[in-house]
Amino acid sequence: MSFTSIPAALPSPLTPFSLDDWPHDAPCVWVKRDDLIHPYISGNKWRKLAYTNIEKAHHVMSIGGGYSNHLHALGYKCATSGVPFTALIRGNYADSLTPMLIDLQSWGCQIHFLSKAQYAQRESSTFASWRESVFGPHTYIPEGGSTRLAVLGVLDMMKEISMLTKLHARNLPTHFVAPVASGATLAGMIKGSNQSQYVLGIAVLKGQNYLEDQVQRFIDTGDTNWRITHDFVHKGYAKSSPELLAFCNKVNSTTDISVEPVYSGKAFYALDQLIKQKHFKQSDNIVIVHTGGLQGARVNSNQK
């Protein structure tokens, strides 16, 4: 089953967004609702996998955490395509499977847990050799699905934003905002923007310089109209704070948008704080990309 045969809500809509406690001179904010594309292959996961042809693969493998939206989307795509899939999981959840891992099991995917030491070697030739010796020949997709093909999928999203803006006679965006974890989404946004527009990435994990290097290796240019802020990590990946959780609950209960504290919630929280800090002008026109995936909100009672 190819992506062309999987029903999807494309182009995803561009909808206005605001919160009641924003200042009167807040900028105009729009949300690119990529979270509405597909119930399982949601958001930037659709974009990243759109040009990845796995249908002819004999065995697909990828790596991520116990709440990985990427693994969830890829596992679903492989299951519906009849392609065996192995998920390499950072940490051992054997005694307390997350809802994401339970889904993978129900779809017939293989799960293999990695120690911290193994995970730390994930980009080494030693790790590649280990994968081959243990699992045999396979098609390997990097963590987060971040590849050069993934960047092409994000460029499609940027074209949609341009098309929708012109269709509804709206002002061109001055800023784009999105969460950053593995780099390809932000890289595609940078490549799809012009130098008069600014692209702001919200780091969702501790990785200053590492995240910037990840993005730079995908854009291969001297673009300077972007940066990543590391001010809203909230103690690290998949870690939260009372303020972040309260904000996510507020958005979920007062708007028609759902966010979670791992990815989308951190991006929306950062934008909220920057608006309140008067980081933007009233004349600015901001598009925040809802990158979809709500695995971080699916927590079993024994995992709280």
- With contact defined as beta carbons under 8 Å apart, do 40 and 73 qualify? yes
Q: How far is CA 196 from the centre of its chain?
A: 25
Q: Indicate if the pLDDT at residue 170 is higher than 50.
A: yes
Q: Say yes or no: 260 and 208 in one domain.
A: yes
Q: Is residue 288 part of a domain?
A: yes
Residue 4's Cβ-count burial label (10 Å; 0-12, 13-18, 19+) is: exposed
- Supply the residues annotated as catalytic: 68
Q: Say yes or no: 29 and 57 in one domain.
A: no
pLDDT digits (tens, 9 = 90+) for 235-283: 888 788 999 999 999 999 999 999 999 899 999 999 999 999 999 999 9
Q: Say yes or no: 117 and 161 in one domain.
A: no
Last residue of a domain, one of 81, 110, 141: 141
Last residue of a domain, one of 141, 165, 181: 141
- CATH code, domain with 177: 3.40.50.1100
Q: Indicate if the pLDDT at residue 56 is higher than 90.
A: no
What gap in Å lies between CA 141 and CA 62, rounded to an integer?
A: 5
Q: Which domain holds residue 170?
A: 14-40+147-297
Q: Is residue 45 part of a domain?
A: no
Q: Say yes or no: 192 and 276 in one domain.
A: yes
Mean pLDDT for the stretch of residues 222-239: 91
Q: Say yes or no: 290 and 176 in one domain.
A: yes
**Residue-averaged pLDDT of the chain:** 92
Q: Indicate if the pLDDT at residue 298 is higher than 90.
A: no
Q: Say yes or no: 22 and 90 in one domain.
A: no
pLDDT digits (tens, 9 = 90+) for 74-83: 999 999 999 9
Q: Indicate if the pLDDT at residue 304 is higher than 80.
A: no
Provide the pLDDT for residue 171: 87
Report the domain count for the chain: 2
Q: Indicate if the pLDDT at residue 28 is higher than 90.
A: yes
Last residue of a domain, one of 141, 164, 199: 141
Q: Indicate if the pLDDT at residue 302 is higher than 80.
A: no
Q: Is residue 302 part of a domain?
A: no
Q: Is residue 159 part of a domain?
A: yes
Minimum mean pLDDT range among 6-20, 127-141, 145-159: 6-20
Q: Is residue 303 part of a domain?
A: no
> Residue 103: CB partners within 8 Å, gap ≥ 6?
72, 75, 76
Which three-class secondary structure state does DSSP give residue 237?
Answer: coil
Q: Say yes or no: 159 and 267 in one domain.
A: yes
Q: Say yes or no: 163 and 133 in one domain.
A: no
Q: Say yes or no: 182 and 121 in one domain.
A: no
Q: 7 falls in which pLDDT band (50, 70, 90)? A: confident
- With contact defined as beta carbons under 8 Å apart, do 94 and 77 qualify? no
Q: Say yes or no: 226 and 79 in one domain.
A: no
Mean pLDDT for the stretch of residues 90-94: 93
Say what the pTM is: 0.91
